[in-house]
Chains A and B, each alone.
Chain A
């Protein structure tokens, strides 16, 4: 469905000193500098796949996503989406894709989502009857009801995001590009959006490419992930492989009934922090169950929590370890 070969994007950035004199000098003699946003990225995505797209801020995720939509023209390389070349932005191509951006909204602020949906139906040339049927189906899936007839400004962030998804999917696109679709949502709303995306993919067989800051989005939805760093692709494969590579250890936080001595925790992973009753341990993944069992067995545990470090930290840690 998506084929990317040797994709690169280089921006020419003007260099300007601050202040009025700098502006004047810039005007007289432009100095530019090339910034490589994406370099020689290649991958293929089959129809119906759900692929997670990971990378730190500024790694080139959004640039790649926009090149796949045709919003940015590549400096070199070849992109094909559904047999089309995105940068020509033919109407036929645009009808098959959709882009959802977590921080930006297409719904009209002062009107109920329904009005924006009717506009989209006309723009995509969807007959009214069909549009009505699709809206009610998608609204059921998204658990949206009378929210569709309330002005967007009066909706909560979660309701607004669901309405955005509805607006983006009204024309039944075959390819979904989702840029941080759960950004800023609370845990419940995130879970509902995730459930919806999985269900949508199952029902329609649409191809999904998704970026997210929340590891949970990726773990729940994407069996395969692409990891991009400083514009280069360096992991393409199952999530487990990446997770083990990125975070061979998990963090265990303990709250004990009474303080313990550091040597009492010997052999139970790497001790990160010990402050009175609060303990933080890093435990290799494969020993996790054993260690947790021992901990519960040996100590008076009041509370226990196992977490993955945030994705940014994981990726950062990976690069610090020099494994690139």
Chain B
């Protein structure tokens, strides 16, 4: 276990060193995030007509959902995109062989090899938006809710990671899956708005098949005291199921790779 920790520290310190080589990227990223967030807020404001509600959610409550979405989007830019996007490159250039020959778990290596600090400001902005929205919505933060929200955020992160990893792992068969992750990203964008803003069929889709609801809507409901224990358990259960699926799919993909690749 100690070896894994030490490896992780080395991974991330080299990642920081790479980023320092390209300082201008951080500025551009910051500008892009600021523009994108103000655009999203402007768009959200358009949905608030005379009744001042979107699927039963007030403006402040919807801001919480936007904030959570921004946090996860930032997590994707910091962690998922740089790592899981590199799997395709590894397969195409044949350097996956080097990873497989290291005496360390290959999924660990591929999932945590690097970090892109350029995405961190987005996480910060998302958290700030979440805090502001919660304040406006009159959320009373107690220790149990805080713990529950943290658990739900972890579960959401795990679900997002597993989904992304599942798609990235298919690059063992189809070398170009870059576009498949774009489809995932497009569908994830639905998490910007509370689940209730969607028609019933889509609600089902976003809860069960592509559980975007557990990333943004459910944690917001937890903060608002509107999510019951069954919802929490369902979220946790889904996270475990998705992670197990990602793990076993990777082992299956590796078996294929070692028996069929040339």
B107 to chain A minimum Cβ distance, whole angstroms, is 13
| Interface membership of B35, Cβ < 8 A | no
Number of A-B pairs, beta carbon distance below 8 Å: 84
Which residues of chain A in 33-66 are interfacial with respect to chain B, using CB atoms and an 8 Å cutoff? 37, 62-63, 66
Quick one: which of A97, A103, A119 has the most chain B CB within 10 A?
A: A119
CB atoms of A110 and B18 under 8 A apart:
yes
B residues near A273, Cβ cutoff 8 Å: none
| Interface membership of A300, Cβ < 8 A | no
CB atoms of A116 and B14 under 8 A apart:
yes
B242 to chain A minimum Cβ distance, whole angstroms, is 26
B108 to chain A minimum Cβ distance, whole angstroms, is 10
Residue of B7, B97, B101 touching A122 (CB-CB under 8 A): B7
CB atoms of B101 and A94 under 8 A apart:
yes
| Interface membership of B11, Cβ < 8 A | yes
A residues near B94, Cβ cutoff 8 Å: 101, 103-104
Q: Take A115-B14, A123-B7 as given contacts and tell me if A73 and B101 are in contact as well, using a CB distance cutoff of 8 Å.
A: no
How far is B262's CA from A92's CA once the two chains are assembled, in angstroms?
Answer: 25
CB atoms of A72 and B103 under 8 A apart:
no
Q: Take A71-B258, A73-B259, A87-B258 as given contacts and tell me if A95 and B95 are in contact as well, using a CB distance cutoff of 8 Å.
A: no
A residues near B97, Cβ cutoff 8 Å: 66, 69, 71, 99, 101, 104
A residues near B93, Cβ cutoff 8 Å: 104
Which residues of chain B in 126-154 are interfacial with respect to chain A, using CB atoms and an 8 Å cutoff? none
| Interface membership of A124, Cβ < 8 A | yes
Extra inter-chain contacts (8) besides given A97-B101, A111-B21, A122-B7, CB under 8 Å: A37-B262, A72-B258, A95-B103, A104-B95, A104-B97, A116-B14, A123-B109, A124-B102
What 8 pairs between A and B have smallest CB-CB spacing? A91-B103, A94-B103, A106-B98, A122-B7, A122-B10, A115-B14, A122-B6, A125-B3
Residues of B at the A interface (CB closer than 8 Å) are 3, 6-7, 9-11, 14, 17-18, 21, 93-95, 97-98, 100-104, 109, 258-262
